[in-house]
Structure 1
């Protein structure tokens, strides 16, 4: 890929462009290329469409449902004969994968009576069965409930009560955490991989005896597809409700970039045929960074998927070389780890044509380093949210190298963007405002939280809580967050969630959590607490006391204690920013 190309699956994706109706021509500007695609290719036709009383710019000819992406992508995968999924030596062709999806959908319908309006939870690591289940559940008309695999029993209890999911597919460690809830919540547990044999039902035996005939289910494009939990400023995570339309709209917005790319930068004469697109999934599939722009997009982009069960940079280098991986998308920490591992091995990973970052902002200094280490790859960044089905802002190549602190430009063609002040007025270029986006890819609502939904979604516009400025060329730079969120290696952590856990400790009178800069993870959790007179607490004691009550990644790695009230602002609320600055200054003074 040449520096400056838009993000694509194949670098110079002329093969895909020709396949869906384009011939290469003289270079166009990105804006002209988008206009050309919209005016000449019916696949990406857009028109005003009313959804839940709001008019959006929406695709007219995309598959109406998520599981419909399988049929839509069959031709791109050699009519099912192409290799599609690789996991630790196990391989599926696209046709084999599609057949397994149909068998599991039949099991859900006939064995468990799952259908439209039901919710089915998935709690496991990155196993192939997770991908199969996502599509099988959606094929029945039911809603997928993505469960964070790192949650404790208490956190799982909240999500399952909130979502009312009664059927849960889980691996061994998650089965162990779910079993204490089984009777009280009337759960049906199905063991997957190392969870088989731990409960009455197991995935292998259920799907082996099933038919792979497709289900005939009436599903509306605006029915719910999934609930994904995202940390917010409230103590408990919010269930983000995504519809079939919203997820598929995001997928086709990214797919369109693969068509635009060769119009902007045609391949040089005599250039070799690009490698088949192939993605390495290194982040959890219960987050949108992995599910949407990697897994779901792969279905229609003709891309192969290789799953990693657990992040290991040296193993990632081996897989990229052995499987000729072209696309890598992870949190910034993983890009840095990959760079270090590649340098140690003395390899350039020449097959990579896209090296993207999501989930958190990549340190600006890392951008040029990555470009030097991986000269064939377009170094990319992106901003999106669970609430937007990961669709949002992004850039690649020279644009990114020239603006390493920026998040990029809005992805066309169905999104609209405004930067608003607190009163809801649009701010001028160059002034700070809250990123507010409108598109059919936006969530339907927060599950069971009408007030939070009304605060976030207004006439189709989603107020993101991220503060940014935009320049005259449309590049957006995010400067701050209105929400009190710590982003630890791509994992969102609500400060109030941490504070609620700290208040479990009997000697803690009040607590304030905040981010602490970390060279590897970007941010880690820090906290300052007021202790009762005469009490003592260090970080190790605190971590031991919180173990089992909150996920380990939420436990503060830095702790400051005092016996006087925490710093207050003018309104007598805890001054989080001031307290954080003071704590970090004391730490700096020690060194």
Structure 2
């Protein structure tokens, strides 16, 4: 979809220059002689960010109603700060946590999650958010690998760790226990709130977080980030919004009076980079209210949007598709939404049209980033997103991008597909206790993303696939995201994932697993007819596996293709690949 806008549109270079000029809100500074840049006005540390909670005092910070009773638990900014201060004092006093010690969090999206996160970070500890979907062996791995001194969990994670916890030398606090606790485990509610944080002085370049990568294979690696890495993301978020505003004809003067704080629906896990870096910290930075979801459910999301007058939500594209397709959508009031963002996976261009049509008051947005880039690297919003819905946007002003030959590391010409490399103050220092993996992933400050992409003459990035997932059919490259975007346009497709089918003659053929919309009956012949003329014939799937249930995804919202390959391609069932 290439459509022009009626709004006056300013040039990309002009907008960037105005926003980043000396004295401008998004001025950058050079950190190294090699050109790594950071935001001059970004919050320096996570401690500084939570100290700014006093600016919003009695405004709701956290809203929690997991059973949708209508009687929500509401915590103001002041109340959250006091709980953070009380826990921080306990960590520093009773448990002796000092700068550099690791404090792990393993829980769902509960109000105690942000409290634990900021309490640990404010005393200079390294926060280790563990994946709440992990089972006991995976949680044990994260605790042992990080060397966590303290663990803060919910009851479900505590029960999972029942058999392994006695063998770990980690002090444990549990949120919301509903029964007797094991010996040595304390109830988090025993810790009294306080009026002030304990003395500590973390530095912007001190280590702050270990986020384990959400890779679908192999042992997770702990991306080791600094306060500067993570705190800069909130400025990247506001920069992307300001850039869209100026591109649409607005002025820098308009930004001097910030919009009233919004209400954000938390649809993604806080233990994931998007949930923590963008949603949680983004809300704290602007004084927004966070409406916590226990787990994703499109019907519940619609009810919360209506009841809490939610203004913004961010999720993986599949969530937005499920929201728009839900039978209650037209019966719920979604007029409060002003922004709908997606990330974590390529957004089909058809989704942009659907959002614009069905949520006319909500500007669609998209972005790209990795755990290793502390969330945002590029962003696409406003006029730019409508004109280039298949792009993840331009780099934010602190990031430099290259597209290189994945085998030689040589830069490729504009428009050519290669591996995307990223440099900037958002790139983590490396992987915790993994110098080998760090050396393999980062070269002279440039992070090898592992994603295949191209960049056009205006600097817009198009992520075409993961390098390891690209299919090669008869010597022709097939980028899964391109095929998936085309399949998504079929009205009976709710979700899809392209898989490679081994083929003796061609190397691989193209297959696709499709989640059908309710009542859908799409078959291979119908899909081939639909795709003919939309994509090259060699890219059209030769096999379609239809299902009603949702596709399996990890905590980052990425489809678990190895699981689908095992279920459909490798199983050899009657619904498996052709002989």
TM range (shorter): 0.7 to 0.9
Answer yes or no: is 1:127 the counterpart of 2:116. Answer: no
TM-aligned CA deviation for residue 309 of structure 1: 0.9
TM-aligned CA deviation for residue 28 of structure 1: 4.4
Answer yes or no: is 1:60 the counterpart of 2:36. Answer: no
Alignment of 1:446-525 (within 5 A): 446-483=431-468, 517-519=513-515
Answer yes or no: is 1:288 the counterpart of 2:273. Answer: yes
- Please name the residue that 1:545 is paired with: none
Rate the CA distance shift 1:337–1:275 in 2: closer, same or farther, 3 A. Answer: farther
Kindly indicate whether the alpha-carbon contact (under 8 Å) linking 1:4 and 1:397 is maintained by their aligned counterparts in 2. Answer: no
Kindly indicate whether the alpha-carbon contact (under 8 Å) linking 2:248 and 2:382 is maintained by their aligned counterparts in 1. Answer: no
Answer yes or no: is 1:587 the counterpart of 2:576. Answer: yes
Kindly indicate whether the alpha-carbon contact (under 8 Å) linking 2:441 and 2:448 is maintained by their aligned counterparts in 1. Answer: yes
TM-aligned CA deviation for residue 151 of structure 1: 0.9
Rate the CA distance shift 1:236–1:96 in 2: closer, same or farther, 3 A. Answer: same
TM-aligned CA deviation for residue 364 of structure 1: 2.9
TM-aligned CA deviation for residue 285 of structure 1: 0.7
Q: Distance in 2 between matches of 1:377 and 1:114?
A: 44
- Please name the residue that 1:438 is paired with: 423
Rate the CA distance shift 1:157–1:194 in 2: closer, same or farther, 3 A. Answer: same
Farther-moved stretch of structure 1 (199-208 vs 144-153): 199-208
TM-aligned CA deviation for residue 346 of structure 1: 3.2
Q: What per-residue deviation string (whole Å, max 9, x for no partner) do you get for residues 218-255 of structure 1?
A: 21211111111114486211111111010011221112
- Please name the residue that 1:376 is paired with: 361
Alignment of 1:377-396 (within 5 A): 377-396=362-381
Alignment of 1:131-150 (within 5 A): 131-150=114-133
TM-aligned CA deviation for residue 73 of structure 1: 5.6
Q: What per-residue deviation string (whole Å, max 9, x for no partner) do you get for residues 69-99 of structure 1?
A: 1234643x2xx13222111101111122112
Q: Distance in 2 between matches of 1:69 and 1:233?
A: 33
Answer yes or no: is 1:416 the counterpart of 2:400. Answer: yes
Q: Which secondary structure state, in structure 1, belongs to the residue aligned with residue 31 of structure 2? A: strand
2:305 to 286, 297, 320: 320
- Please name the residue that 2:190 is paired with: 206
Unaligned segments of structure 2, at least 5 residues: 66-71, 252-257, 471-479, 485-498, 500-509, 518-558
Alignment of 1:396-407 (within 5 A): 396-407=381-392
Farther-moved stretch of structure 1 (90-99 vs 461-470): 90-99
Answer yes or no: is 1:257 the counterpart of 2:237. Answer: no
Give the paired residue count.
Answer: 488
Q: Which secondary structure state, in structure 2, belongs to the residue aligned with residue 235 of structure 1? A: coil
Unaligned segments of structure 1, at least 5 residues: 6-11, 13-25, 489-494, 496-513, 522-551, 562-578
Q: Distance in 1 between matches of 2:567 and 2:64?
A: 44
Q: What per-residue deviation string (whole Å, max 9, x for no partner) do you get for residues 145-181 of structure 1?
A: 1111111111112111111113111111110111212
Q: What per-residue deviation string (whole Å, max 9, x for no partner) do you get for residues 395-423 of structure 1?
A: 12443344333222212x21111101121
- Please name the residue that 1:86 is paired with: 63
Q: What per-residue deviation string (whole Å, max 9, x for no partner) do you get for residues 411-451 of structure 1?
A: 2x211111011211110011111110100111111111111
Q: Distance in 1 between matches of 2:562 and 2:36?
A: 41
1:556 to 563, 566, 577: 563
Alignment of 1:69-218 (within 5 A): 69-72=49-52, 74-75=54-55, 77=56, 80-88=57-65, 89-194=72-177, 197-199=180-182, 200-208=184-192, 210-218=193-201
Could you state the TM-score of these two structures normalised by the residue count of structure 1? 0.75
- Please name the residue that 1:238 is paired with: 221
Q: Distance in 2 between matches of 1:584 and 1:357?
A: 35
Rate the CA distance shift 1:101–1:342 in 2: closer, same or farther, 3 A. Answer: farther
Could you state the TM-score of these two structures normalised by the residue count of structure 2? 0.77
Q: Distance in 2 between matches of 1:293 and 1:223?
A: 20
Q: Distance in 2 between matches of 1:454 and 1:55?
A: 20
Kindly indicate whether the alpha-carbon contact (under 8 Å) linking 1:350 and 1:374 is maintained by their aligned counterparts in 2. Answer: yes
